[in-house]
A and B are shown apart, each in its own frame.
Chain A
Amino acid sequence: DTEVTQTPKHLVMGMTNKKSLKCEQHMGHRAMYWYKQKAKKPPELMFVYSYEKLSINESVPSRFSPECPNSSLLNLHLHALQPEDSALYLCASSQNTGQGALNTEAFFGQGTRLTVV
């Protein structure tokens, strides 16, 4: 199984709502990532989890809250978002992080298309 599964595929939420994005992988990868991608732009790194611990937070606003309940699951909790947060949110995983990860590719999910109204 070389898949990263993201749910939901599409999400429309109001600015006062609370919602969560979910990501799952069963490849035994110990690094998991959240990216934000605007149309026709490269993905922007948000968070990195390494061995279920948050290792990188790219100065993301606190209205985005990541969680890694176990080595296979990654969540992104959303609260009080703004319309400019509308984007494709991508989850990715790779074997591990650090120097040992340099020659490994990342596997991406198909993303959650988020629209904030």
Chain B
Amino acid sequence: AQSVAQPEDQVNVAEGNPLTVKCTYSVSGNPYLFWYVQYPNRGLQFLLKYITGDNLVKGSYGFEAEFNKSQTSFHLKKPSALVSDSALYFCAVRDKEGSYIPTFGRGTSLIVHP
């Protein structure tokens, strides 16, 4: 079985400060991990993914995520937040031993204050 947890409903950060949105996962085999962003009244947009290889993955809009196998985490990060980064962020996981249908976390609302 595959599952993913986003422990924070909301993250608040000041513009220009670094941001982190947390995600932990549980899978039977090797995980395939994804981050998506959703702006108000829009669909989900793919940001980045971890499949294999380098634990630090770089994605769109300056975002990156670090895969940590021992902590089963895949936290989303950005060195300097922008007000325009304010949105809903979803972590998703697939498991080679499980379903090809991704399991989404509950979502984290990121609010960047000017």
Chain A residues in contact with chain B, CB under 8 A? Answer: 4, 6, 40-43, 45, 48, 56, 88, 90, 92, 97-99, 101-103, 105-111, 113
The answer on a CB contact under 8 Å between B101 and A110 is no
B100 within 8 A of A: yes
The answer on a CB contact under 8 Å between B34 and A99 is no
CB within 8 Å for A106 and B46 given contacts A41-B107, A42-B106, A113-B41: yes
CB within 8 Å for A106 and B105 given contacts A4-B43, A111-B43: no
Mind listing 21 A-B residue pairs with CB under 8 Å?
A: A4-B43, A6-B43, A41-B106, A41-B107, A42-B104, A42-B105, A42-B106, A42-B107, A43-B44, A97-B100, A101-B94, A101-B100, A102-B32, A102-B94, A103-B49, A103-B51, A105-B34, A108-B44, A110-B41, A110-B43, A111-B41
Question: What A residues does B49 contact at CB under 8 A?
Answer: 103, 105
Closest 10 CB pairs of A and B: A108-B43, A42-B104, A105-B46, A108-B44, A103-B51, A110-B43, A101-B100, A102-B32, A111-B43, A110-B42
CB within 8 Å for A108 and B41 given contacts A43-B104, A102-B96, A103-B51: no
Interface residue range, chain B:
20 to 34
1/0 per residue, CB under 8 A from A, across B71-98: the answer is 0000000000000000010100010100
Question: What B residues does A102 contact at CB under 8 A?
Answer: 32, 94, 96, 100
Question: What B residues does A40 contact at CB under 8 A?
Answer: 88, 107, 109
Pick the most buried of B44, B46, B51: most chain A CB atoms within 10 A of its CB.
B44
The answer on a CB contact under 8 Å between B101 and A108 is no
A59 vs chain B, min Cβ distance (A): 14
The answer on a CB contact under 8 Å between A106 and B45 is no
The answer on a CB contact under 8 Å between A45 and B101 is yes
1/0 per residue, CB under 8 A from A, across B26-45: the answer is 00000010101000011111
Q: Which partner residue on chain A sits nearest B9 by CB separation?
A: A40
| Distance of A39 Cα from B17 Cα, bound (Å) | 28
Question: What A residues does B104 contact at CB under 8 A?
Answer: 42-43
| Distance of A92 Cα from B43 Cα, bound (Å) | 9
